[in-house]
Amino acid sequence: MPLALRVAQSLSEAAGILAADPRVTLLSGGTLVMRDVNEGRLTDGTLLRVTDPAWRQMQVSGSRIELGAAVTMAAILANRELAFLHAAARAVGGPAIRNMATIGGNLFAGTPYGDFAVALLALDAQVMVLAGYGSARAVPLEEFLAGRARGESRLVAGIQFNRPVAPGDFRFLKVSRVKPKGLSVLSIAAHLPGSGSRIGQARVAYGAMAPLPFRARGVERALEGKALDAAGIAAARAAALEGVQPVTDAIASDWYRREVLPVHLGRLLAERG
Amino acid sequence: MAKVPVQFRLNGSDRAAFADPADNLLTVLRRGLNDFGPKYGCGQGTCGTCSVLIDGELRLACLTLAASCEGASIETVSGMADGPSLHPLQNAFMEHFAAQCGFCTPGMLTAAKALLDRNPNPGREDVIDAIAGNICRCTGYEPIIQAILAAARTLPAQRRS
Amino acid sequence: MEFRKDLFQNERDDNLNVVGKGVQRQDMPGHVTGRSPFFDDHAFEGLLHLKVVRSPHHHARIRRIDISAAERAPGVKRILRGADVPVNKNTLLSLINFGKDDEPSLAVDKVRYKGEPIVAIIAESEAQALAARALVRVEYEPLPAVFDVEEALKPGAPVVNDTYPGNCFEYHEKYDHQKLRFGDVERGFAMADHIVEDRYQMSPIEHAPTETNGSIAAPEQNDRFVVHSCAQGLFFSLGTAAKIVNLDSNRLHFIGGTVGGGFGGKVDSLTEPLAVLGAMMTGRPVRYVLDREEEMLHGGPRGAERIYIKDGIARDGRILARHIRSYFDAGAYTRLSSYAAIKCTAHLPGPYTIPNVTSDIYVAYTNRCPSTAMRGFGITAVDFALEVHMDKGAEACGLDPVEFRILNAYRDGDMKAHRRVAKNTALIECVQVAAEKARWPLSEEAQRQSSLTGGGGARAEIPATPIDENGRINRPETRGGRPTQTLPAGTMRVPMTKQPIMEGSTENRPSAPSVPQYEPYRPATAAPPPPPPPVPASRSAAPPPPAAPPVPPPAGPAPASQHGAHRFSSVFGTRRR
Ligand SMILES: Cc1cc2nc3c(=O)[nH]c(=O)nc-3n(C[C@H](O)[C@H](O)[C@H](O)COP(=O)(O)OP(=O)(O)OC[C@H]3O[C@@H](n4cnc5c(N)ncnc54)[C@H](O)[C@@H]3O)c2cc1C
Ligand code: FES
Ligand code: FES
């Protein structure tokens, strides 16, 4: 049977529908779902649209930032309070894609997609998950991504994270071959509290260096208590490849990704904050 | 299978069509409403030939669920000219040989219009960024970039008049 | 843009109305208003949509096809299988009697590349056709596949294409490759001071036209079918569709010419025959458009090529002999790779006058998407290889690479390796202008050279040419082992007589003097080699010998069925007049 369509007025209604029927596919910006429809990979079941305005809301004024899962990359780019995230939002697709692509969908995008999720991972973001009717539960993004890999399907209502104290503490880099728009050879996000002097509790995340965005714990450890001088950067570079499992795809080979990662990490850390 | 009705404004007129529930907007525009301006080039968001403006925002019709356009205002290349008088972008594309096969042209014009509607005074980098989602396999892009920059130069004068 | 009107003035009429001027194209208003009528821009009442089940395997036997669930799916009007296609085997150039029919419209017993069409679903909407497609069950028995051109030609390789069990295209029912023999390369190599050898590999390239391949066919008045087609060669497509659906061509009314980019990828009639067949079977308009992934899998690319070049070069920089051995990757069936090899051969040895030239160009079948035309196919890849090789040759004899090209460039009146006299040559002037633009210093000597002078004379002679029968089809003595599956002994590389020139190595070699010696030209083969084999006698520049140029002098009258093949080759050979 060709696909059917349902519309949910509220997030909790949507969560209930999703929980009740495994053949329901949630549609957010649709940039990935509609491709599957167009190419005949998704021919069966139900598409679920959500019209709840809460899904698109943003709380950006304070130190704790809350973004609805259906907030688009373009909406982030249009918001000055979120300037530190602009590089990551601009990294997703071309202008039309950015008008459609949502942060919620980005958490589900397979590698080499998922550039924005990499940024959120370095921000220690919490994912607000609705598993059926009821109120949202906060799940650390890293844990959420692991659950996604296990095929768990839950509605993401939104994302929360703390604003970096100094704007230069947060850095994002995407390497692609086609400019200005191309798929990731790799992406790196780094949250470096204290980047002006000594770093404490660094968070570094990679995209396209493993099947899922993941945290470069070796680099984080190497940076602990260090300054971003030549010695600190060298230590980080030396640990850069810990735990990576890059794929070979049409964009780059496994070998190439490993080869260039330390170079780009070094450059990102050497940027003046 | 039950078709669903969709109604929206298309290039200034109210239009309605019956669509399959999961139909994309491109299918409804082309096959439901006979607006053959936007083209199918990939169905996966990579080529930009299906670009349209939805409530003034650049979107890819092939990735837009038609049913989600209920009540929206949609502009396609077919509505770009004002009767017989072409939009400055259309004139500039003609003058600068910015089309060869012409298949990317509707999408390019739409993406360029989205840019100029927001930023009537773009620099070269702005233009490149604005058409980054549109693939042209014929021209090598340079004539297109030149045409958009040239069109922008004619805009303020027009708006003043 | 700059026109160099000082060059070749008397060969050209400069009083032109269009060339060099910016003239508005007549299709531009349509393009900028979105009104140019591409094939898909036509509305039809009751339009049906065709989608195809494709092989997920590179090579497999089809055990069973079950369409029962798909037939019952909503909106499905008709399902086509191989048995429904009246003439379910074709090759594009059969329209000019070139090659054997080998590619089915819908695979029957085997699939030979990933993406090969097997079953076509025709339904009321695209969504319904896609949903029904997902219900078709095909049982496969995967077979070993071969992806490398040279592996494919080895004995014991999996047979890709049963029409050509040796995994190579057969020319004129006689040779398993395209041969070019001019002079005596072995003698040339023996006389050379430097031997430069290398291997070049080119990848397949997808045209990726912005508009994918597609067509709409609809029943028309007068018992005809109208076909809106994306074809680059509309009448090729008409002929192909007529043959496959077994209709007289006057019952097909093809409309096209507005093509959303082709670049060679729209010559193969990928969709027209099934769209027409669908319209015949349903009595309704049928639209068949490839999606982007299908365009990549099923629309042929420029074929990959592997090229081996061996040059023998005299100390003064003159190339005395050039041997080229190349393998075109045809993919699983013959689209246009057979023609690419002819073009390639006709182009050898590049725009240079070399007294001894041999080439053997093979078209090998592999379990990849069939390859086809693309912008200079057959030429561009070998030209890349030749020009890289020219740089290596210049390096080997310590010459400036630009001067090295001017020194070896062909000139008006020279005999080309395929036995045509060179006319309107312009390489020297091109190189001179390019050097000027690049501010590359040229010797005065090199600046004085001209395509118009210095050619002809001894350079117009056809040298004595040993010919061989290597690669004769069905001659066991030239192949050994299973017929058509071994590389003929005579095409093996000769043991290198000199130190090979390694890529990038300049050590221990004298630095390049900027000026080679432009002495009067003395062909290296002026003295006929010992036992002279039969040589075409013609020394006159004007009428070309009757044989198809890339083939050695004919061993006898060609079989009648090959008439088109000869005509085809000679059409190409005389094109540049
Ligand atoms: C041409 C093109 C270029 C692209 N370039 C990039 C790029 O450079 N970088 C990049 O990262 N991505 C890229 N993408 C991928 C994609 O656009 C983005 O990842 C985008 O953020 C996905 O969001 P979406 O809202 O469109 O997802 P959708 O298509 O709506 O959904 C994707 C998946 O996520 C699920 N989902 C979505 N939202 C939720 C939610 N709130 N809760 C639970 N499940 C949810 C859906 O059910 C679906 O399975 C590109 C895509 C295209 C077509
Ligand atoms: S058809 Fe929509 S982006 Fe290509
Ligand atoms: S003009 Fe042909 S794709 Fe742009």
Q: Where are the domains of chain B?
A: 4-79, 88-160
pLDDT tens track for A49-78: 999 999 999 999 999 999 999 999 999 999
**Nearest atom in ligand 3 to B144's CA:** 4
C-beta of A187 in contact with ligand 1 (< 6 A) = no
Residues of chain B positioned with their CB less than 8 A from the CB of A35: 43-45, 63
pLDDT at residue C493, as a whole number: 32
Contact C127 B22 (CB under 8 A): yes
Are A137 and A211 in the same domain?
no
pLDDT tens track for B61-106: 999 999 999 999 999 999 999 988 999 999 999 999 999 999 999 9
> Domain ends where: A162, A180, A204?
A162
Ligand nearest to the CA of residue B105, numbered in listed order: 3
Q: Confidence band (pLDDT; 50, 70, 90) for C9?
A: confident
**Nearest atom in ligand 2 to B42's CA:** 4
pLDDT at residue A271, as a whole number: 87
Are A58 and A46 in the same domain?
no
Q: Give all chains having 3 or more CB-to-CB distances under 8 Å with chain B.
A: A, C
* Nearest CB to B86; choose among C24, C32, C36: C32
Query: Measured between CA atoms, how close is A35 to chain B, in angstroms?
Result: 5
**Nearest atom in ligand 3 to C261's CA:** 2
> Do residues C322 and C182 make contact, with C-beta atoms less than 8 angstroms apart?
no
Q: Coil, strand or helix: which one is C288?
A: strand
Pairwise CA distance, residues C324 & C458, whole Å: 24
Q: Is the pLDDT of residue C530 over 50?
A: no
Domain of residue A37, CATH code: 3.30.43
> Domain ends where: A162, A181, A201?
A162
Q: Which of A6, A25, A26 to mutate to test the pocket of ligand 1 (most atoms within 8 A of CB)?
A: A26
- In chain A, the number of structural domains is 3
Q: Is C443 on the interface with B (CB under 8 A)?
A: no
Q: What is the mean pLDDT of residues C74-86?
A: 98
Q: Confidence band (pLDDT; 50, 70, 90) for C473?
A: confident
* Nearest CB to B102; choose among C22, C30, C207: C30
Please tell me which residue of chain C has the smallest CA distance to A42: C131
Residue C247 has which token pair? 């209709």
pLDDT at residue C437, as a whole number: 95
What string of DSSP letters covers C31-85?
A: HHHT-S--TT----TT-EEEEEEE-SSSSEEEEEEE-HHHHHSTTEEEEE-GGGS
pLDDT at residue A167, as a whole number: 85
Query: Measured between CA atoms, how close is A234 to chain B, in angstroms?
Result: 34
pLDDT tens track for A178-203: 888 899 999 999 999 988 889 999 99
Digitized pLDDT (tens) for each residue of chain B, 161 residues in all: 578 899 999 999 999 999 999 999 999 999 999 999 999 999 999 999 999 999 999 999 999 999 999 999 999 999 999 988 999 999 999 999 999 999 999 999 999 999 999 999 999 999 999 999 999 999 999 999 999 999 999 986 555 34
Q: Confidence band (pLDDT; 50, 70, 90) for A1?
A: low
Are A147 and A207 in the same domain?
no
Non-local (6+) Cβ contacts of C16 within 8 A are: none
Q: How many CB pairs under 8 A join A and C?
A: 28
CA of B43 to the centre of ligand 2 (A): 5
- The larger pLDDT score, comparing residue C154 to residue C172, is at C154
**Does B4-79 match B88-160 in CATH topology?**
no
Q: What is the third-level CATH fold of B88-160?
A: DNA polymerase; domain 1 (1.10.150)
ipTM over 0.90: yes
Report the predicted TM-score, pTM, of the whole model to 2 decimal places: 0.89
CA of C576 to the centre of ligand 3 (A): 30
Looking at chain A, the number of H-run helices and the number of E-run strands are 11, 12
CA of A202 to the centre of ligand 1 (A): 28
> Domain ends where: A146, A162, A178?
A162
Sign of CA dihedral C134, C138, C142, C146: negative
C-beta of B141 in contact with ligand 3 (< 6 A) = no
Q: What is the identity of the amino acid at C113?
A: Y
Are A152 and A105 in the same domain?
yes
What is the CATH number assigned to the segment(s) B4-79? 3.10.20.30
Contact C47 B80 (CB under 8 A): no
What string of DSSP letters covers A130-184?
A: E-SSS--EEEEHHHHHHHHHTT---EEEEEEEEPPSSGGGEEEEEEESSSSS--E
Query: Measured between CA atoms, how close is A244 to chain C, in angstroms?
Result: 29
Domain that holds residue A171: 167-270
pLDDT tens track for C245-277: 999 999 999 999 999 999 999 999 999 999 999
Phi-psi region of C425 (alpha: psi -120 to 50; beta: other; left: phi over 0): beta
Domain of residue A60, CATH code: 3.30.465.10
**Nearest atom in ligand 1 to A107's CA:** 34
Please tell me which residue of chain C has the smallest CA distance to A34: C127
Are A216 and A149 in the same domain?
no
Q: Is C1 on the interface with B (CB under 8 A)?
A: no
Pairwise CA distance, residues C481 & C490, whole Å: 15
C-beta of B141 in contact with ligand 2 (< 6 A) = no
Q: Confidence band (pLDDT; 50, 70, 90) for C497?
A: very low
Domain of residue A193, CATH code: 3.30.390.50
When scoring B25, B26, B31, B77 by the number of chain C Cβ atoms within 10 A, the one with the most, hence best to mutate, is B31
Pairwise CA distance, residues A46 & C425, whole Å: 66
pLDDT at residue C512, as a whole number: 42
Q: Confidence band (pLDDT; 50, 70, 90) for C427?
A: very high
Q: Coil, strand or helix: which one is A106?
A: helix
pLDDT tens track for A206-227: 999 999 999 999 999 999 999 9
Q: Confidence band (pLDDT; 50, 70, 90) for A273?
A: low
Q: Which of B131, B136, B148 to mutate to test the pocket of ligand 3 (most atoms within 8 A of CB)?
A: B136
Contact A39 C291 (CB under 8 A): yes
